[in-house]
A and B are shown apart, each in its own frame.
Chain A
Amino acid sequence: MQTDPNPKKSKDSPSNSANTESTQLPSPFPDEVLEKVLSFLNSDKDRSSVSLVCKDWYNAERWTRTKLFIGNCYSVSPEIVARRFSKIKSVTLKGKPRFSDFNLVPQNWGADVHYWLTMFANVYPFLEELRLKRMTVSDESLELLATAFPGFRALSLMSCDGFSTDGLKAIATHCRNLTELDIQDTDIDDFSGGWLSCFPENFGSLEVLNFASLDSEVNFDALERLVSRCKSLRVLKVNKSITLDQLQRLLLRAPQLMELGTGSFQEDLLPGQIGDLGNAFGNCKNLQTLSGLWEVTSIYLPVLYAACASLTFLNLSYAALRSVEFGNLLAHCPNLRRLWVLDTVEDKGLEAVGSSCPLLEELRVFPADPYDQHLHRGVTESGFVAVSRGCSKLHYVLYFCWQMTNAAVATIVQNCPNFTHFRLCIMNPGRPDYLTNEPMDEAFGAVVKTCTKLQRLSVSGLLTDLTFEYIGKYAKNLETLSVAFAGSSDRAMQFVLEGCPKLRKLEIRDCPFGNAALLSGLEKYETMRSLWMSSCNVTINACRRLAREMPRLNVEVMKDKESDDSQADKVYVYRSVAGPRKDAPPFVLTL
C-alpha cells in the first residue's frame, strides 16, 4: 500500500486528521502518546493489525516500528519500505522458495541482498541487526554492511550463499560493536580460516559466534584469545577443525556458555585428557544447548554427562549414535525440550526417548543414510509411537522413515493431540501403509482431525485426493503445507485451496495437479505468501492466464531444458506490491 508521509501533529492540538473522510472522529490521544504506546508492540502481526485501524494509527505505527520482517523479499521493494518506515534498526529478510534447499531452484535465481543494503545505507544508517534466510549475499555486500553501518551489531545468515570467507574478514575487521555472528547451513567458498584472526585484539563484545558450517581451520590461538576477551559470550559453535584438546581449553575460558557446538570428536585422547575434558564440561553449569558432536563415539559420550543436567536442546543430528549409548546419554538429560537425532538410534533409541524425556516438545529424526545404501535401517513407526506414549507435550515432529502405518499415526496423534508442526517423510515416494497396503489417507486424516492447532504439515506416502479433502475440511489453522508425490487429481489441490483459511505457504512437487487446480485458487493466492508447484501438470498458458487475472500476483515460471514447450515445470506464485521483479535471470519467465 502506498504511504503518504503525513507531517506529525503538534503536541498540543488533538489529533485532527486533515485529509481524511468526514466520518473520522478526532483521536483522544496526541500522537506522542499513541506512539509511546505502540512502541511497546513487538510482534509483526500486531503491528500489521494496528496499522490497519485508521490513518493515524497507521502513521503512529510506522514511525515507531524498529524491527522489519519481510518474509518474501520480492513482495515489497526497498523503495516502498524506505518511504514507509524511518526508524528501522533490525531487518529480517527471506529470499528463495524453501525448495531451493533441495536443489530445485537453479543458481543465480535472485534474492540478492545488495540492492536492499544500498537502500539501508541511505535510509537506515543506524541499522543494527540483519537476519537473512535463503538470500544471496556477496562479499561486496558484506563489505558494505561492515563499513556503512557504524552501529551494526548482529549478523545472522541462514542457508545463504554467494559469499566467501573474504566477506567475513570484512565483518570481523570493521564491526567494532559486533555482538552476533551466526552462520548456519551455509555453503560458501571457504578459502581459509583467517577471517577469525581479523577481530581486533581489543574487540570483546561478541555474545554469539557460530561458524560450525565452515570448513577451514581457524587460528586457534586467535580464537582462544577472542573467547577469553568476550566475557558475555553465551553461544559458541565451532567447526570440525577444532579438536577435543582445543575444545577443552575453550570451555575453560568460557564456562558461562549457554549454547555450545563442539568440534569433531574423531581423535584418540589419553585417559588423562578425557578426564580433563569431562571436567571442562562439568564446569559449564549453564549449558542449555549442545550440538556439533561430529563423529562422537561411545567412548567419549560420558564426558558430556556432567553438562547435561540443564540441557534443554540436544542436537545429535551429526552424531551417528546407536541405541544403547544414546539411551545412556539421555538418562542424564531429564530436562530436554528439543531433541534432534539420527535414525541410527533406531526404534530402541526412541523408546529411550519416550521413557527419559517427559518434557520433550520437539523431536527431529534425520536419516543417516537417505539414499538407503544400508537397506532400510533407521526408525519405523514403532519408534514414533513409543515417543508419543512417553512425551505427551510433543508438538513439533520431523520424522524421516521408510515405513509407516495408518494405525500408528492415529495412535500417535491420540497420544499427542497438540501437534503444531507435523512433518512426516516416508522416504519412498508414494509408499502405502506397509501392513494393509492402503493409502496413507487415514493417517493424515487423523492428524488434521485431532490436532486442531496444526500450523504446519508435510505429507508423504501414497495419498489419494481423500487426504486433501480431510486437510481442507479440518485443518483450520494450517499455515504451511508441503506435498510431494501425492494426490490423484486436481480436486486434491482444490480441496486445500478452498478449505484452509489460514494457508500462507503451499509447496507442491511431483503431483498430478494441472491447470484446473492452479486456476481454482485465484483470489486465494493473494491471501497467501506464496505457492510453489514443480513437476506437476501445469502449462504456461494457464500461468499466463493466472497472471492476467491477478495483477497483484507475480507469476514466475522456470522451464527444464528438455521438456515440452508448453509445460510450466516450475511455477512460483507470490503476492507483491512491488510488481514483477526486475532482476529475474533469463531462465525465469515472469508472466
Chain B
Amino acid sequence: MSPPLLGVEGGGRGNAPLMSSSVSVDCISQSGSGLKERNYLGLSDCSSVGSSAVSNVSGENKNNLNLNATELRLGLPGSRSPERDSDFNLLTSGKLDEKQLFPLLPSMDGICSLSQKSIVSGNKRGFSDTVDGFSEIKNSVFTDGKWMFNATGSDSGTPQSVVEAKLAGNAGINVMLSNNSSGTQPSMKKEVPTRAPQEGHNKLNGSNNNSSAPAAKAQVVGWPPIRSFRKNTLATTSKNNDEVDGKPGPGALFVKVSMDGAPYLRKVDLRTYSTYQELSSALEKMFMCFTIRQCGSQEAPGREMLGENKFKDLLHGSDYVLTFEDKDGDWMLVGDVPWEMFIESCKRLKIMKGSDAIGLAPRAMEKSKNQS
C-alpha cells in the first residue's frame, strides 16, 4: 500500500511533506546563476551530512536586513561574499562553516517576518492547509507594497525581486524567487513538497539516511508538538531574550520609548511588529493612560503623506506624534521610511507633542533619499 504522503502538487495535505521535504532540495537547486528559481534551503551540497544547522540560515536572514542587503547579489549556493558573514550572525553556534547558501535576498527578511506572523497567528485556521497557507502569504506579499522594496528606491538597476519565504510557522522553508523584470518565472513552484513522498517513504521504512537533518524543515502540521498558546508566546519571548545579554542576537531589537509627561519609560522590541500600524497600536495601549486626546486634527501644515503611510493617520486627532532617534542622533518622524529601514535605524522612540514635532518631516525625506 502506498504511503499517504503523496503528491503535494498545488496545495497538498499539510502532513504530506512530512519530514524530509527539504532533502529534495539536494536535487533541485544547482541550476547555475541568474535569476532562476532556486531552492534556498541550503542543502544544495549533498555531502552536508546530518547537519541540521545548514538549513536554518534562511531563518537568519529574516532578522538581518540591513541596508547593504538591499543590494541584490546572486551567486551559486555555496559561494557567498565574505562581508555577508557578519551581517548574518550565522556563526553564533559555530557550526555553520559548512556549505551555505543563500546569496542573500534582502526582501526575504520582511517577508519572512510577515509569513511568520501570519502563520503563528493563524493557528485558528489550523496548519492543515500549510501549502494553501502558502498561497495566502504569496497573495499578501504581492499585494502589500511594503514588502517589495519599491519604496527604498533602489535605483541600482538590479532587477527587483520578490522572494517569498514561508517559514516559521511550520519549520518549512520554501523559498522562491520570481523575477519581475524578466518575467521568466511564474511565482510559485512547490518544488520541495513534491519531492517529499520519495524521501518520506524511505524514512518511514526506517532506512537511515542523511535526510534526518533537513527533515525538521519540512512543513509538518503540529510538529513539534507544542500547544498554540505556548508557540505564540514563545515567538515573542525568544526574540526578546537575544538582547538580554547584550549580544545583538538576530532576534530582538529593543528600543526605549519615552513620552512627554509619562513617569517612566517603556521598552519595545521592534521585531515583534511588522508594520507601523502594529507598533502604533501597541504604543497606544502602553501609554493609553497618559494620552490626552483632542478633537480635531493637529497636523502640521505642509506635511505630506509619503507613500503608503497610514501611520500618521492613526495619530490623527491626537495631540501626539511618534518620533524616533536614528543612528546619527537625529530625531525624525516615524512613518516616513519603509518599515524595514526604520527598524534598522531606529535607536529610540519618543512620543512628543505635535507642536514639538513640526519641522521634522523634511529631514526624514531627505535622509531616506540619501540612504537609498
B259 on interface, CB distance cutoff 8 Å: no
Q: For residue A388, which residues in chain B have a CB less than 8 angstroms away from its CB?
A: none
Does B234 contact A370, Cβ atoms closer than 8 Å? Answer: yes
B43 on interface, CB distance cutoff 8 Å: no
Does B203 contact A430, Cβ atoms closer than 8 Å? Answer: yes
Given contacts A319-B237, A485-B203, A563-B6, contact A425 B225 (CB under 8 A): yes
B59 on interface, CB distance cutoff 8 Å: yes
Given contacts A369-B238, A376-B52, contact A428 B212 (CB under 8 A): yes
Does B221 contact A101, Cβ atoms closer than 8 Å? Answer: no
Given contacts A368-B237, A536-B4, contact A297 B264 (CB under 8 A): no
Q: For residue A429, which residues in chain B have a CB less than 8 angstroms away from its CB?
A: 18-19, 203, 215-216, 218, 220, 223
Does B208 contact A432, Cβ atoms closer than 8 Å? Answer: yes
> Which residue of chain B has its CB nearest to the CB of A101?
B227
8 A Cβ contacts from B42-75 to A: 50, 52-53, 56, 59-60, 62
Say how far A243's CB is from chain B's closest CB, in angstroms.
9
A329 on interface, CB distance cutoff 8 Å: no
B205 on interface, CB distance cutoff 8 Å: yes
Q: For residue A367, which residues in chain B have a CB less than 8 angstroms away from its CB?
A: 224, 226, 234
> Which residue of chain A has its CB nearest to the CB of B204?
A512
What number of A residues sit within 8 Å (CB to CB) of B?
81
B3 on interface, CB distance cutoff 8 Å: yes
Complex: A401 Cα to B100 Cα, angstroms: 24
Does A427 contact B241, Cβ atoms closer than 8 Å? Answer: no
* Interface 0/1 of A86-101, CB less than 8 Å to B: 0000000000000101
8 A Cβ contacts from A105-144 to B: 106-107
B370 on interface, CB distance cutoff 8 Å: no
Does A267 contact B15, Cβ atoms closer than 8 Å? Answer: no
Most chain B beta carbons < 10 A, residue from A186, A266, A510, A564: A510
Q: For residue A567, which residues in chain B have a CB less than 8 angstroms away from its CB?
A: 4
* Interface 0/1 of B276-314, CB less than 8 Å to A: 000000000100000000000000000000000000000
Does B229 contact A373, Cβ atoms closer than 8 Å? Answer: no
A444 on interface, CB distance cutoff 8 Å: no
Does B223 contact A102, Cβ atoms closer than 8 Å? Answer: yes
Chain B contact patch, size range: 35 or more
8 A Cβ contacts from B263-281 to A: 264-267
State which of B77-85, B168-176, B342-350 sits at the interface with chain A: B168-176
Does B228 contact A103, Cβ atoms closer than 8 Å? Answer: yes
Does A376 contact B264, Cβ atoms closer than 8 Å? Answer: no
Q: For residue B251, which residues in chain A have a CB less than 8 angstroms away from its CB?
A: 374
Does A563 contact B13, Cβ atoms closer than 8 Å? Answer: yes
Name A377's contact: one of B93, B240, B256 (CB within 8 Å): B93
Given contacts A294-B233, A488-B205, contact A185 B267 (CB under 8 A): no
- List the interface of chain B (C-beta within 8 A of A): 1, 3-6, 8, 11-15, 18-20, 50, 52-53, 56, 59-60, 62, 90, 92-93, 95-96, 123-124, 126-128, 167-171, 203-206, 208, 212-213, 215-218, 220-231, 233-234, 237-238, 240-241, 244-245, 249-251, 256, 264-267, 285
The 6 A-B residue pairs whose C-beta atoms are closest, nearest first, are A320-B241, A102-B222, A373-B59, A429-B19, A371-B171, A368-B238
